[in-house]
Structure 1
């Protein structure tokens, strides 16, 4: 297994690369007779060969037969397009419910050879040691996985309690690790805007290390607050949802990252900044942000995003730049990867069509890693310790009474604040509903699509449960779904229509050690065990995808009709995206960044 830290650097490989390019020495690999898609000049050059040595591109020319020696591997391109391996500029491995090894195994056949990952999910559960585990497994893989040090755990101080808190000192330490490429998304944008000392110290530590600061500005206000955020140093942002967002970011010198995840469809509404307004595409990057295992196994990864961008009217060569060289340049790696050019890592895809992008042959660091959808290399696993597998602590068995929502004394009706789910988007709506009181309690009302939601504390065993209401899932009958994936604090989210089912789901997750469980009419009908930090499985991606698919079907059996509803479920505690969320401290008004009461 070739690891990233055994790949020779460009200076170490230079003498051999020069000799191969000059025709004085044979290449390790020659790819013959392909169409060279050049993302630097944005052109397609017919009838070219590619010579590879030491895992890097040595030369690209119409005829490199002189580089073929007795031991040279030869691959016939047969007129196919030769494009750079795809890069994901912003993503969270944990959202795939997989460890870095299994995530890599899932996406390599789709042509992804470079990922820039922010493991802030595990940071909330296990702190800096958890980040190091993700970092170390990432470096073991046969493709390039760079790690951004998480910036915000908690994501909004004072509005949630995490398992661990990240400090500026933690950030400074991580900047010395070999696989750290920068600072993860700076979600505490109010803190940056207000000049919070810790947020500025984290940004300063990153900039002193000469690395990239990731952004996250989840507000529609593009006036003074956005200008203040941009002045704070974040170099990119993926939270845009409309054309104006994309334009504002690039005008302020940021890279606009357009995402297509399992549930976030934000490319089509922003790419018109390029296709219609004609903005320079160099400052636009494609990414996924969050993809669950089912999407990875059955639909793809960055190849899926690329195809979508092309379907939205983007020139294929521009779309390719947005998921190769633009991404590499943003992270200061243009001379290392992201293009087929001398000296770069030999990461390459052979494909017969630039519009539909069938991924027929994947090469990473000069060796074939996948062909016709089949993975041909091993993706080594880290030895995850017991401490990473025992992270769900409820403190006690929960009862239906823990999920009882009591009305104010003497009330017959109440006006409740309700979290409104928006299909295919991360934001929620702050709704209100007039609800009846029965025996002093306010129950769910499935006739009006009003389910209960509970946030169960699971890091310290406090036994705390915060209750509220959510609308948009369409659940009916007696059901509940519980998950220890609850961005970003990753307590436990339980949504249901029946308090007994909600208690059963919560207790099941406590016994399981983390994951997702769906209950209906007194029985569990689907389960996805996630033993590592309550977030990930180290089982093969296809197995996890099968369990996840069964979970999605179970949600539908409970009445849910939303596309990728589980992603919406897992984000209901994300207290940095408007308009209203739930945390272990109560309901959070994310337009004001303050706690609010359930009843008006």
Structure 2
């Protein structure tokens, strides 16, 4: 597919860049009189001009008036800082509930000009074909969206069933696609630790192609298992939650990716490795991992992460390196992007302050793409086929009986395993609760913050429902909330206090073709349609954010007080993050990577 706002390769552009830099030819664009923030030397150099040609930086110097011709566009920086466009090192576009085009449209005004995306969500629903659709729409955008080929669909073989599976042959084939930058996060860390041939074959195919292997080590054990994982080849990791995690990763030659997403607040607890321990910051990178549309529209993207890192004590120039040059270097693109230096893609931001970082003017590939928060370009859409919009197959009409939890014969009370939600973190707690048996059934107990959770199979129409209990949402009254976003297998997760509400919610999602639905007292009070793979909408981000905002309010009306509770909800089936999750095969003990029973 043809890329919009294309940029010539450095060798193709070199003759023109040299001519402009030497003053023999005019530039396409000159930015005049700004403060050049050089992330290679960690300096701010006042009174500089920038000359751009062929979508790349040609020269940066105190006076480039010789590069201004009659057709050269001139932007007056007026003493503002000129910083590189921001890079998100690890993220999932699907988590924004948006397609790549609408995600790009949402983040460009925030100064994000490069994203490294892992579309493993759609891989679980539509397989390699779905990944190719995401890849192809990414290449249409006026900013840089590089795709990591998903590595783990399913994320934990034997513990879940996905719509499609990814194999080493898929990985090897994808490495030849023009926008593939490496292998997506290797979530099956037990597989790597145990030298699983399939996982090692995927890593080998990536390394043979000379590309980067993404990591995902979601365990607090920094001993032999972590050493084994590092030996397997992953080059980075974003699952750290404390200073010791960050230090362990960089000491083993990995990059520590510190994330601030909609629900993940892992920068403050790890950046002390740099700000207090004094470790070399070049191996630390900032990322978002998962940001929903509301965060993008109202709070920002990588600019939000940068500001947070500075607020946590990072030197602004160090924080800037962590979301520009460090990221580019990690993916082997230091000579292509990540800094304002000759030959690199002309991606930059004009800002009047390096602490609060107001994003006043965004340039990508030498073209103005946003000004004062307003998008100035078009982000083209891919023509998503009809079958990508018809992925919710329940197989039958569900009833309250499908959500009934039956006790063992003769039991008056049971000890139930309960998934404990941890606010602002991906891990859950494996809890237990003594629960009474009423007419042979075990019921939700809102008074003790014990709700039901159900995993409804939605790929093959089996009609299967796995039931359990969850704590932490604080739901009260008769309610249910369901979502077809259910990382990573993306079946359907329904949480509720009433089986009838849960059945109504699940059926509604089936009719809607995927998305989110919240019910209270027999009535749907909020809905977010996500028709593409049951994961994304191709409506504008602001529209989706409004619906998502109404959904958050509806959750609050049902008693939920958690920060970003929807993100927590959507991860309850992620069977590669401890301690306990739910899948279409049953409850999963993620500390042992095995299925476990609901009742002790």
Q: Give the equivalent residue in structure 2 for 1:47.
A: 47
SS for the counterpart of 1:102 is helix
SS for the counterpart of 1:595 is strand
Q: Give the equivalent residue in structure 1 for 2:491.
A: 491
Task: State whether residues 2 and 142 of structure 1, in contact with CA within 8 Å, keep that contact through their aligned partners in structure 2.
Answer: no
SS for the counterpart of 1:274 is helix
Following the alignment from structure 1 to structure 2, what is the Cα–Cα distance between the partners of residues 504 and 86?
A: 43
Q: Give the equivalent residue in structure 1 for 2:203.
A: 203
Following the alignment from structure 1 to structure 2, what is the Cα–Cα distance between the partners of residues 7 and 176?
A: 20
Q: Give the equivalent residue in structure 2 for 1:252.
A: 252
Q: Give the equivalent residue in structure 2 for 1:599.
A: 599
Following the alignment from structure 1 to structure 2, what is the Cα–Cα distance between the partners of residues 557 and 412?
A: 33
Following the alignment from structure 2 to structure 1, what is the Cα–Cα distance between the partners of residues 91 and 542?
A: 20
Q: Give the equivalent residue in structure 2 for 1:547.
A: 547
Task: State whether residues 115 and 144 of structure 2, in contact with CA within 8 Å, keep that contact through their aligned partners in structure 1.
Answer: yes
Q: Give the equivalent residue in structure 2 for 1:274.
A: 274
Following the alignment from structure 1 to structure 2, what is the Cα–Cα distance between the partners of residues 164 and 480?
A: 28
The one-character-per-residue Cα deviations of 1:127-179 (angstroms, maximum 9, x if unpaired) are 00000000000000000000000000000000000000000000000001000
SS for the counterpart of 2:553 is helix
Following the alignment from structure 2 to structure 1, what is the Cα–Cα distance between the partners of residues 471 and 93?
A: 28
The one-character-per-residue Cα deviations of 1:259-289 (angstroms, maximum 9, x if unpaired) are 0000000000000000000000000000000
Following the alignment from structure 2 to structure 1, what is the Cα–Cα distance between the partners of residues 29 and 470?
A: 57
SS for the counterpart of 2:339 is coil
Gaps of 5+ in 2: none
Task: State whether residues 30 and 49 of structure 1, in contact with CA within 8 Å, keep that contact through their aligned partners in structure 2.
Answer: yes
Task: State whether residues 310 and 319 of structure 1, in contact with CA within 8 Å, keep that contact through their aligned partners in structure 2.
Answer: yes
Q: Give the equivalent residue in structure 1 for 2:411.
A: 411
Following the alignment from structure 1 to structure 2, what is the Cα–Cα distance between the partners of residues 65 and 500?
A: 73
How much does 1:505 deviate?
A: 0.3
Q: Aligned ranges for residues 284-433 of structure 1 at < 5 Å?
A: 284-433=284-433
**Residue 527 (structure 1) aligned with residue 540 (structure 2):** no
Task: State whether residues 400 and 502 of structure 2, in contact with CA within 8 Å, keep that contact through their aligned partners in structure 1.
Answer: yes
How much does 1:387 deviate?
A: 1.1
Q: Give the equivalent residue in structure 2 for 1:31.
A: 31
Task: State whether residues 456 and 465 of structure 1, in contact with CA within 8 Å, keep that contact through their aligned partners in structure 2.
Answer: yes
Following the alignment from structure 2 to structure 1, what is the Cα–Cα distance between the partners of residues 381 and 350?
A: 28
Following the alignment from structure 1 to structure 2, what is the Cα–Cα distance between the partners of residues 55 and 3?
A: 13
TM-score (norm 1): 1.00
How much does 1:7 deviate?
A: 1.6
How much does 1:6 deviate?
A: 3.5
How much does 1:500 deviate?
A: 0.4
* Aligned pairs, number: 600
How much does 1:556 deviate?
A: 0.2
Q: Aligned ranges for residues 155-170 of structure 1 at < 5 Å?
A: 155-170=155-170
Following the alignment from structure 1 to structure 2, what is the Cα–Cα distance between the partners of residues 245 and 439?
A: 48
SS for the counterpart of 2:455 is strand
Task: State whether residues 4 and 141 of structure 1, in contact with CA within 8 Å, keep that contact through their aligned partners in structure 2.
Answer: yes
The one-character-per-residue Cα deviations of 1:47-79 (angstroms, maximum 9, x if unpaired) are 000000000000000000111100000000000
How much does 1:444 deviate?
A: 0.2
Task: State whether residues 580 and 590 of structure 2, in contact with CA within 8 Å, keep that contact through their aligned partners in structure 1.
Answer: yes
The one-character-per-residue Cα deviations of 1:456-476 (angstroms, maximum 9, x if unpaired) are 000000000000000000000
How much does 1:487 deviate?
A: 0.1
SS for the counterpart of 1:318 is helix
The one-character-per-residue Cα deviations of 1:34-53 (angstroms, maximum 9, x if unpaired) are 00000000000000000000
SS for the counterpart of 2:184 is strand
Q: Give the equivalent residue in structure 2 for 1:143.
A: 143
Q: Give the equivalent residue in structure 2 for 1:224.
A: 224
How much does 1:5 deviate?
A: 8.4
Following the alignment from structure 1 to structure 2, what is the Cα–Cα distance between the partners of residues 427 and 120?
A: 19
RMSD: 0.8
SS for the counterpart of 1:98 is coil
Following the alignment from structure 1 to structure 2, what is the Cα–Cα distance between the partners of residues 387 and 125?
A: 11
Q: Give the equivalent residue in structure 2 for 1:185.
A: 185
Following the alignment from structure 1 to structure 2, what is the Cα–Cα distance between the partners of residues 33 and 418?
A: 61
Following the alignment from structure 2 to structure 1, what is the Cα–Cα distance between the partners of residues 164 and 3?
A: 30
Task: State whether residues 5 and 139 of structure 1, in contact with CA within 8 Å, keep that contact through their aligned partners in structure 2.
Answer: no
Following the alignment from structure 1 to structure 2, what is the Cα–Cα distance between the partners of residues 218 and 351?
A: 37
Following the alignment from structure 1 to structure 2, what is the Cα–Cα distance between the partners of residues 376 and 551?
A: 30
Following the alignment from structure 1 to structure 2, what is the Cα–Cα distance between the partners of residues 98 and 592?
A: 34
SS for the counterpart of 2:59 is strand
Q: Give the equivalent residue in structure 2 for 1:579.
A: 579
Following the alignment from structure 1 to structure 2, what is the Cα–Cα distance between the partners of residues 93 and 172?
A: 23
Following the alignment from structure 1 to structure 2, what is the Cα–Cα distance between the partners of residues 43 and 178?
A: 34
SS for the counterpart of 1:164 is coil
SS for the counterpart of 2:598 is coil
Q: Give the equivalent residue in structure 1 for 2:75.
A: 75
SS for the counterpart of 1:6 is coil
Following the alignment from structure 2 to structure 1, what is the Cα–Cα distance between the partners of residues 309 and 5?
A: 34
The one-character-per-residue Cα deviations of 1:222-274 (angstroms, maximum 9, x if unpaired) are 00000000000000000000000000000000000000000000000000000
The one-character-per-residue Cα deviations of 1:81-124 (angstroms, maximum 9, x if unpaired) are 00000000000000000000000000000000000000000000
Following the alignment from structure 1 to structure 2, what is the Cα–Cα distance between the partners of residues 323 and 229?
A: 25
Following the alignment from structure 2 to structure 1, what is the Cα–Cα distance between the partners of residues 72 and 528?
A: 46
Following the alignment from structure 1 to structure 2, what is the Cα–Cα distance between the partners of residues 297 and 589?
A: 36
Following the alignment from structure 2 to structure 1, what is the Cα–Cα distance between the partners of residues 437 and 267?
A: 44
Following the alignment from structure 2 to structure 1, what is the Cα–Cα distance between the partners of residues 89 and 338?
A: 11
SS for the counterpart of 1:20 is helix
Following the alignment from structure 1 to structure 2, what is the Cα–Cα distance between the partners of residues 387 and 198?
A: 29
SS for the counterpart of 1:550 is helix
How much does 1:33 deviate?
A: 0.4
How much does 1:3 deviate?
A: 2.5
Following the alignment from structure 1 to structure 2, what is the Cα–Cα distance between the partners of residues 3 and 122?
A: 22
How much does 1:4 deviate?
A: 6.1
Following the alignment from structure 2 to structure 1, what is the Cα–Cα distance between the partners of residues 469 and 423?
A: 17
Following the alignment from structure 2 to structure 1, what is the Cα–Cα distance between the partners of residues 536 and 597?
A: 33
Task: State whether residues 48 and 60 of structure 1, in contact with CA within 8 Å, keep that contact through their aligned partners in structure 2.
Answer: yes
The one-character-per-residue Cα deviations of 1:175-208 (angstroms, maximum 9, x if unpaired) are 0100000000000000000000000000000000
Following the alignment from structure 2 to structure 1, what is the Cα–Cα distance between the partners of residues 217 and 525?
A: 38
How much does 1:2 deviate?
A: 8.6
